[in-house]
């Protein structure tokens, strides 16, 4: 855990999606100090007309290489979140050629009772995690 959802404009092939997911996972492991196999990622590809992602008045443009990353996670510090944002830009830039202005991240926080990894159990509550 955390769970990452990637919303991208359709057209990326399997190889480029794997690079994207691998790069994001490296950033997550480094920023949030999660185990290597703590990897939960879902990709949704959309036609360009289904994504309207502007800049909140910050003055930069987006391209069709846009990636919106939604993170659901237990509580993290502000420093961990800032580190994640920086590492995502670095990793996605170096590995995938994605410009910083094309990376948007949103983090939603939840608690131990909000996770079941299977078997009908709440592993954070029953002591298995």
Active site residues: 2
Question: How many other CB atoms are there within 10 angstroms of residue 70's CB atom?
Answer: 16
> Which H or E run includes 47?
none
Question: How many other CB atoms are there within 10 angstroms of residue 78's CB atom?
Answer: 7
At 80 the three-state DSSP class reads helix
- Burial of residue 27 (CB within 10 Å: 0-12, 13-18, 19+) is buried
State the DSSP code for 101: G
């Amino acid at each position: 855990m955390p769970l990452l959802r990637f919303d991208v404009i359709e057209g990326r092939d399997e190889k480029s999606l794997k690079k994207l997911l691998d790069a994001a996972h490296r950033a997550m492991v480094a920023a949030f100090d999660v185990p290597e196999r703590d990897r939960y990622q879902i990709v949704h590809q959309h036609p360009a007309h289904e994504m309207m992602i502007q800049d909140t008045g910050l003055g930069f443009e987006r391209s069709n290489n846009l990636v919106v990353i939604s993170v659901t996670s237990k509580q993290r510090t502000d420093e961990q979140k800032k580190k994640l944002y920086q590492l995502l830009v670095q990793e996605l830039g170096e590995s995938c050629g994605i410009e910083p202005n094309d990376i948007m991240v949103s983090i939603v926080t939840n608690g131990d009772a909000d996770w079941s990894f299977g078997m009908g159990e709440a592993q954070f509550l029953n002591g298995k995690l």
